[in-house]
Amino acid sequence: MSETWLILGASSSMARAFARKLAERGDGVILAGRDMADLDRDAADARLRGAALAETIRVDLRDPASFDAILARMSDCEGTVSVAIFTGAMPPQSEIDADPALIEGVAIDNFTGPARLLQMLAPLIEARGAGTVVGIGSVAGDRGRIGNYVYGAAKAGFHTYLSGLRNRLTRAGGHVVTVKPGFTDTAMTWGIEGMFLVAPPDKVATDILRAVERRRNVIYTPLFWLGIMGIIRAIPEPVFKKLSI
């Protein structure tokens, strides 16, 4: 029996690439987000690629009432259900410095909103005795840096949440993959200065699917970011706080 995936934040380029790969292997996809016209086009594309199921559903992380429809739809799916979370928001740190009220939205989009939805879906995965959660974090969550420490803090919180959820779901036959992408060619990174080694979304999606199939716990994508972040984490704090990285 094929697997049914809920893809949250399905309009992002990484999510779109991942959904295409799932469709090509015959899985079902339920694409969730706010831009329904965009999602409908992607669902049609998924059907053409061989998806066992391709539907859309509206969700807004800042409106928890929209979560109920997702829970109901996923409960109706037969067999294994899995979830991939691609949502996120990264306003420039300078804008947050000027308006600290923006912190709340960053926290909801990157951490508390996805965590709240996953808390609702976790019992379903436990009851089925199978299923995978893919959570998209960021290398920015490995250490607070002057250029994006609010975004990094939200991703760090999400990393820790996913670690705990992995501990929980493993006991019931489920699994959680934490994905830490480096710079990726997405709408979130367009126009940002200082970008280097920017990965195409299809490469990231390939790495994610491989991690799902191999039941990896935490991955960096592309892999060279594992080494880069190892170096960054190893810099002593007295030195690190003087750097602009």
Q: How confident is the model at residue 188 (pLDDT cuts 50, 70, 90)?
A: low
As a whole number, mean pLDDT of residues 195-200 equals 64
Query: Do residues 151 and 140 lie in contact, with contact meaning Cβ atoms separated by under 8 Å?
Result: yes
What pTM was computed for the model?
0.92
Residue 82: how many CB atoms within 10 A of its CB?
Answer: 24
**Distance (Å) of CA 83 to CA 70, 115, 143, 201:** 11, 12, 26, 18
- The answer on pLDDT for 214 being more than 90 is yes
Q: Could you report the per-residue pLDDT of 126-146, keeping only the tens digit for each? A: 999 999 999 999 999 999 999
Q: Could you report the per-residue pLDDT of 86-106, keeping only the tens digit for each? A: 999 999 999 999 999 999 999
Angle at 34 between CA 31 and CA 35, to 5 degrees: 85
Q: Could you report the per-residue pLDDT of 16-31, keeping only the tens digit for each? A: 999 999 999 999 999 9
Domains of the chain from N-terminus onward:
4-240 (3.40.50.720)
Give the span between the Cα atoms of 155 and 229, in whole angstroms: 15
